Structure 1
């Protein structure tokens, strides 16, 4: 609701758009719900990513359809000593003490971490080399070094889920079980021959990038959804007149309900200071201290008392608020130079169809 002084044009409409804090409090439930959904999605993706990372293709210890445990168990049953290695050093130690004619080294390197030039002349890694699903031409350094090289073109033929299809099992047993010791070597990033540290892309699982993109799109959609505005909220005059006393009582009840005693007292003070400045000829923009000094000079009241009542004192309870309100009214009455009317004629009753003026000289409030 707005109030306009008598004879003064209405002020510009006040913008009542909610602040950022109010928006955050109003949307707290949506934010909490979105956060829960986002965290649940992250946990689900992490679990899926961990499950896939725990069983890489042709894992010698995995019983999943993509593992190679079935083949290696069959080879052990045929008397082949099977050893697994994930680094070049471990592979060299696995072949230690064995004759080159007794060793088969199976290398499965789908990520390309190992450079075969490093093992072409490696005396610590003797025996036959079996490359599983290599890049075409990558075996050339081994052939040039005179190594015995065999190639399995499809890794899926050795997996648990397809080892029993067709002749896969027989061919695999004949190839890997021809010698007494089999070293199942799956190079890791530790065998990288680039000579440079691993990058974030090398160390990050493949599901991280889609997750980041999904999170970014979710943030953009949420910003567009919650950030749009239909225009600022403004105060509009209603086509009815409201008594100033009703507006005064309504605001007073709000202050009382929220125990805002200081706000209620400040409202009385601001009205009194404005009227005192006008009556003493100081103008509506006069500082409060200037008004206090002029009131003290006009009434003879102690300047400290005037400052305490009009500016400094703070009510601690309802009794203090009532006392300070009465002192504000007393100071305003003492500073009023207008004579008190002596006529005993009854005052005319205000017309309810028109705006009723309040005792502070303001017109009726409009809602």
Structure 2
């Protein structure tokens, strides 16, 4: 059911709707309110991109023929195929690890694949280790290593070109077939890539080794203090409560303070509305209207008494919206001018 109101009540209702302030936030206000979310989102995106780049660089820095590397220079494809054929592939990065991996495996069931491009392992060490006395496949070996291994009488095979085992080239020609025949003839394959541990000296010290023991607790304490400070400063205090000030503040100071707040937040319309409300109240008394008069009634009465354009008066007292500081100052002067055009004519001087 639709109800239609006519008469004075309808005019007052329309006037009340016209004089009601617009509360819908503008696009600029929405962007300003969402600025924090945009910043947080940008930080998350940057961190994610950095994480991907760091992960990619870490993958690219893995050594050649790494059995767990899927990069073009890794050997994960070959190792996966060997495991699919039932070969137990065990990775080792030191002579001790290779010896432990060979424990309990019969020499006839064991194959050693040695790839030492940096020359970390002395040939004599491998030749003298009885735990690895089994079929050995040397990948791009030094001449001294090949000579030492053949001198032991072991079954030694040589792959002179390591690139044929890489993920990028394993499917070319007959590389995969030859690699499987050389490395997949036994039940267990130890993929041995010597490292610094085979040199008998420790590697370079890391930042953790050089850092004093009290630094880590101090960093954790500083992080906890920062989180506590953020929670303390960022907590919400709840809704505002109107309370009497404990001191007397001059009206001019309150006016200047509110004006600075309006200026800082670019609330030009709010500042102008404060001036308009005071002016409309005084004009209503000047033209003889009561406190219940609407802004439309005040505008009509002021225009009739001061002989001004009703549309101009309504624009100054209600409709005009300032977009710049200059327009705000101009409208403020026009509000004062409208008030001055009515006030002197209704002032009674006592003789």
Aligning the two structures, in what range does the TM-score lie when normalised by the shorter sequence? 0.3 to 0.5
Q: TM-score, normalised by structure 2?
A: 0.41
Say which structure, 1 or 2, has more relative contact order (CA 8 Å, 6+ apart): 1
Q: Which has the higher helix share?
A: 2
